[in-house]
Structure 1
């Protein structure tokens, strides 16, 4: 019930700004078993996202346990400030400050992958473009008029909208890079993949144990089915 309620809240938080994108979503190469990618994603999240967003459904200690990381490694890579290893991943920004700065409090991202899907999050992070008409000077291809600024612009560079007339209305159908950032497009895509992998992991940490265990469960059920079938044949042989 708690998970379902969290997903419902997250969906509601995006309802005001999210519409079906004109451009198809890009495929996110999600692999929560890529521990190096998840660790890099945690670092990017801590540096670029935790100023506004929390992940209240997981503790640092769970991440350390799942990926066999020492507390020193955690603090070096993404545990910053005076946080303790058993703390949840919470932002220092208060709800009031978020509403004052952006008009709406930035949502908790614990379940954003389960609510929206990895492809949506990946395409959203990649879809920011310059828009002087917006209060923060940016807009988004996937979620038009969203209140979030483009926090990754220095890495990605600046993009401008590609506009076409659809039913007589100027519509943003794509974005194109007009000013290079600190990273090449390929390097930036890897950053987004790492962040999505991290968010996919925190949305369901048990997947690391559940999926490997599933192979053994299926094998057991197959063996059990064979045994039961042979037992059934043996019983019915006497009846016939």
Structure 2
């Protein structure tokens, strides 16, 4: 029995460092995404960014335009700002690009983004959207710190500006990579980006927020219903608990 326990402890001791090494090799540490699906203004801004930039190549077939009324938009606002004239309000958010053409142009069909936030996580998306940097060895001229050798170009580079990946040497002489934002003044205004770092991060937070909402639209209503249920139970049970306590302790002196 003691021998079996010692073997189990030894096995765990071997597995834990390996798991830690695997986690560190899996990619860079991800910053916490500032997600709040109750923030309708953020969701509306994210929806606009998504439609104007992502929907050109990526579809969101599990999402319909009319569901955007749930984040505070009217049908007229959706039709006037987020839809093509040929689309109908009840249609899915599909891309017009042919899949065969997409495979020829990009080497692979851009994935559907309906539930990407559930499969990858909000922190991953937030890091990915902000992690593009110049890499002339790549066909598009761009790479990504979170998704190495990414095939997607940096379509928002005119907002963010250019980033470069520096190679430095640590104390042991091994090469390490370090993401560094190109400092203002070293590039032209266009290359430096139309938005400063804080503004760009806020836009990417809005876009990530919308994709989190899009992956599970009912979560907003579910949370609202949950708050109402808790409030109802509190109002119902508090008086009952008070009178029960009063009745229980009435004979205790």
Using the size of structure 1 for normalisation, the TM-score is: 0.79
Structure 1 residue aligned with 2:228 = 216
Greater RCO, CA 8 A, separation 6+: 1
Q: Does 1:103 align with 2:107?
A: yes
2:179 partner SS: strand
Unaligned runs of 5+ in 2: 1-24, 248-253
Q: Secondary structure at the match of 1:174?
A: strand
Q: Deviations over 1:66-118 (max 9, x none)?
A: 13422221123221341110111111112212211111111001111111111
- Alignment-derived partner of residue 20 in structure 1: 26
Note the alpha carbon deviations across 1:151-208, whole angstroms, 9 max, x for none: 0001100110022347876443323235410111111111101101111111111011
Question: Match of 2:208?
Answer: 196
Q: C-alpha separation between the residues in 2 aligned to 1:80 and 1:175?
A: 38
The structure with the largest alpha-carbon Rg is 2
Alignment of 1:134-153 (within 5 A): 134-153=138-157
In the aligned structure 2, how far is the partner of 1:63 from the partner of 1:28? Answer: 22
Aligned Cα root-mean-square deviation (Å): 2.6
Most deviating of 171-180 and 139-148: 171-180
Which of the numbers 124, 131, 134 marks the counterpart of 1:120? 124
Secondary structure of 2:78's aligned partner: helix
Quick one: structure 1 residues 147 and 221, their matched pair in 2 at CA, closer, same or farther if it must change by over 3 Å? same
**What residue is the counterpart of 1:72 in the other structure?**
76
Q: Distance in 2 between matches of 1:20 and 1:81?
A: 44
SS at match of 1:163: strand
Q: CA deviation at 1:36?
A: 1.2
**Could you tell me how far apart the structure 2 residues matched to 1:100 and 1:158 are?**
27
Q: In the TM superposition, what is the alpha-carbon distance from 1:48 to its structure 2 partner?
A: 1.0
Shift of 1:131: 0.4
Whether the 8 Å contact between 1:128 and 1:150 is mirrored in structure 2 is yes
Taking the aligned partners of 1:216 and 1:128, their CA distance within structure 2 comes to: 42
Separation (CA, whole Å) in 1 of partners of 2:39 and 2:233 = 28
